[in-house]
Structure 1
Amino acid sequence: MSEQATQTARRVPCEQCPLRANPHFRPFEAEELKFVKQFKRGELVADAGSMILSEGSHSAQLFTLLSGWAFRYKMLEDGRRQILNYLLPGDLVGLQGSVIGEMQHSVETLSPVVLCVFQRDSLPGLFRNHPGLAFDITWLASREERMLDENLLSVGRRSALERAAYLIAFIYQRANRLGFGTGRKMLIPITQQHVADTLGLSVVHTNKTLRKLVDRKFIRWHDSACEVLDEAGLMELSGWSGLEEGQRPFI
């Protein structure tokens, strides 16, 4: 874990968790909330660019992203990077290492983040005594698989321009449902290198592709951030009908 990431005492009681106030997330039953309070060991605060988990590591902890942005990725031996997915508040981080025993990907922050910390050795009790929470974890893992399926379809079959439009619309809709754009301009904290590493394109090709979206006034590019101007235009260009996800769980 990066030296920029520091463990802190619990700051946000589970009853006052800001995610619980968001209607996008399903409410906990009283017994579930009691268990999650015991399951949680504290919070982790990290700056942008911090490594939360590294490929090949064995972690005794897993996390829920409470605030901020992060991404999952894998590296080739020569240093080339493939970004697998982007993580937003409510997403579970590190489940793979908890189940398999060794992380098969790395996780890095895009912005300052706060993560709820859970001890891996408490998972058996969750599955044994709280079937609702066990289903939630299974749902979150299945959702992650579904998102990877969609991303693989996009990389394999969409043109470069369609890929970029899909990626930005997808991230934008996810963040918008969490209230990132409520009452203020939403800036997605990604660079053109992040986009290139997600889409499997060179930075030069990515720059030319994003310029076309800018020229069509679908997006505005800032320093290390992207602003969506025309969500419907991005969706139409990519041939994507949008998120179908309703109320969802989190731990």
Structure 2
Amino acid sequence: MSTRAPKKTRNIPCEECPLCASEAFRDFEGGELSYISGFKRGELVAEAGSAIFVEGSNSPHLYTVISGWGFRYMTLEDGRRQILNYALPGDFLGLQGSLLDEMSHSVEALSDMVLCVFERDRLFELFKAQPALGFDITWLGAREEQMLDEHLLSIGRRSALERAAYLLAFLHQRANLVGLFNQTNVITPLTQQHVADTLGLSLVHTNKTLKKLQNRGIISWKDTGFAILDIDTLKHIASWDGLPDLKRPFI
């Protein structure tokens, strides 16, 4: 984990938010963007490896990911880690802490990240003043639950090969939708250890499984990440139809 704590800044006006220019997200209506501009308290810049949330802690803030990758995880007392999901641009972090006072999971920056900062104590104010934005937050929470259902199905019923194919196809499609690839198909800086901790497999078993996909020319990988060479075959192996093609909200 990085020894540097995330830094607070305020350099990105809401009207110039890069997410607003993305076709992946719905347009704001009426005075919604102006309200969010007043609701926002700045940005957080986090280096790869920095802790955004720590399991069991309280945080006064909520975050929207503007750029970069992060991941949510839980740990056992002996240090074994289960990665629950990945945070990409547009995702809303910290809602659990707003409702339950403390986080039951941690969030770490997988790459350098920039996040919008909001005050947790003002969340109910947003629901009252902007019900449509409140619905958007509910939608984001429901979508996160839907993704976790798919992950649980994968860990519980898919074979190791199917699990790996599903995870890489899922991350590829999510990253592609929000423009994280920059004209490449490399999921970076995802490592084999991250994949193992997501799939619930040992590192040795994960390595053997990924080699099967690589030997078939479906993926390639280096220490810097995974290149997706055949997304359709990955989806076919996983028996997964892919994410719905719709514009999603963000706060």
Which TM-score bucket, shorter chain as reference?
Answer: over 0.9
Distance 1:245 1:106 in 2: 29
- Correspondence for 1:234: 234
Distance 2:156 2:177 in 1: 27
Once the two structures are superposed, residues 54-111 of structure 1 have per-residue CA deviations (whole angstroms, 9 ceiling, x without a partner) of 0001100010010000000000111110000011000001110011111010000110
Q: Deviation of residue 180 (structure 1)?
A: 2.1
TM-score, scaled relative to structure 1: 0.97
- Correspondence for 1:117: 117
Q: Deviation of residue 4 (structure 1)?
A: 1.9
Query: Aligned letter for 2:24?
Result: H
Distance change >3 Å, CA 125–CA 88, structure 1 → 2? same
Runs of 4+ in 1 over 4 A off after TM superposition: none
Q: Is this contact kept in 1: 2:140–2:249, CA < 8 A?
A: yes
TM-score, scaled relative to structure 2: 0.97
Query: Aligned letter for 2:175?
Result: A
- Correspondence for 1:249: 249
The DSSP-based 3-state class of the residue aligned with 1:122 is helix
User: What pairs with 1:172-187 in structure 2 (closer than 5 Å)?
Assistant: 172-187=172-187
- Correspondence for 2:150: 150
Identity %: 61
Distance change >3 Å, CA 2–CA 214, structure 1 → 2? closer
Q: More displaced, 24-33 or 105-114?
A: 24-33
Q: Deviation of residue 122 (structure 1)?
A: 1.1
- Correspondence for 1:81: 81
Q: More displaced, 241-250 or 106-115?
A: 241-250
Task: Structure 2 unaligned segments of length 5 or more: list them.
Answer: none
- Correspondence for 1:193: 193
Q: Is this contact kept in 2: 1:56–1:103, CA < 8 A?
A: yes
Q: State whether structure 2 residue 200 is matched by structure 1 residue 207.
A: no
Query: Aligned letter for 2:248?
Result: R
Q: Is this contact kept in 1: 2:6–2:47, CA < 8 A?
A: no
Q: Deviation of residue 182 (structure 1)?
A: 4.5
Distance change >3 Å, CA 3–CA 43, structure 1 → 2? farther
Q: More displaced, 231-240 or 179-188?
A: 179-188
Task: Structure 1 unaligned segments of length 5 or more: list them.
Answer: none
Q: Is this contact kept in 2: 1:196–1:206, CA < 8 A?
A: yes
